[in-house]
């Protein structure tokens, strides 16, 4: 496609499936080598693993690394894997999941697991990446939050809490790391069509029909919509963007 990311190496967590898979593939199409970091190699939507598709369909290189983002040592291993391609330039903290349990029914175990993946994973993913980026003279960190990190939503309190934390983590790191040549930005997707959102009933059912009436563009987002935003933030096209929130929701939150 283009050489927007030519010569760069990226680590994308949760890149086996869904949004992370689309980001990893788009990065490779634009010239970046990719470390696919996930707890599973096989994509939920079927087909060849992400790193194999990159090798088959692009000129970029890719490797899969087993990575539970709640474990800092495994994040270190993912970032270390980028050394094979010259060292990390772009870190995408994408791994996460939603918890729709009503607030009064959330258990301590559910809460801890959600925060370990969604918030702790982004925190330490950024930390281990930034350590290398400082040594290398700079880089870019992209945190995948959510529109529910911008506004509260009943029924998804734990998820909104974690994603709100990701948003403020992004702003704080932009200030703290900007002087080191590291840009930190967040992407806030709206309703995106993935295997997980289809299985949860958010896409393809009555919930989608109700939400479509509120989305000015009149459609559900696709993983590639988020990937395009990630390519922009990873490239020199966004060189003066730091501490920003890129909302990709078809206009939903701006027009409610």
* Residues that are catalytic: 159
Beta strand pairing call for 245-248 and 9-13 = unpaired
CA count, 13 A, side-chain hemisphere, 253:
17
Alpha carbon of residue 79 to chain centroid: 15
Instruction: Report the C-alpha gap between 127 and 214 in whole angstroms.
Output: 37
The residues, any chain, with a CB within 8 Å of residue 242's CB and separated by 6 or more, are: 174, 178, 183, 184, 185
Residue in 1, 252, 11 with CA at minimum distance from that of residue 142: 11
CA count, 13 A, side-chain hemisphere, 206:
0
Maximum CA pair distance of the chain? 50
Question: Phi and psi of 211, rounded to 5°?
Answer: -75, -35
Distance spanning both ends of the chain, measured CA to CA: 36
């Amino acid at each position: 496609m283009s050489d927007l990311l030519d010569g760069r190496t990226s680590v994308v967590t949760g890149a086996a499936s869904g949004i992370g898979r689309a980001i990893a593939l788009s990065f490779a199409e634009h010239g970046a080598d990719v470390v696919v970091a996930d707890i599973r190699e096989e994509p939920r939507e079927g087909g060849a693993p992400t790193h194999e598709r990159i090798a088959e369909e692009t000129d970029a290189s890719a490797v899969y690394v087993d990575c539970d983002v709640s474990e800092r040592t495994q994040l270190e291993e993912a970032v270390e894997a980028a050394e094979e391609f010259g060292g990390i330039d772009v870190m995408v903290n994408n791994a996460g999941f939603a918890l729709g349990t009503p607030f009064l029914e959330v258990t301590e175990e559910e809460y801890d697991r959600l925060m370990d993946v969604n918030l702790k994973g982004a925190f330490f993913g950024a930390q281990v990446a930034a350590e290398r980026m400082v040594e290398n003279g700079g880089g870019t960190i992209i945190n995948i939050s959510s529109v529910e990190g911008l506004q509260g939503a009943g029924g998804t309190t734990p998820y909104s809490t974690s994603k709100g934390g990701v948003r403020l983590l992004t702003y704080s790191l932009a200030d703290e790391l900007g002087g080191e040549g590291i840009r930190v930005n967040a992407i806030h997707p709206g309703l995106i069509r993935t295997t997980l959102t289809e299985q949860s009933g958010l896409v393809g059912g009555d919930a989608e029909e109700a939400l479509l009436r509120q989305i000015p563009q009149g459609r559900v987002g696709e993983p590639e919509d988020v990937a395009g935003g990630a390519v922009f933030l990873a490239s020199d096209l966004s060189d003066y963007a730091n501490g920003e929130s890129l909302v990709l929701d078809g206009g939903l939150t701006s027009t409610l």
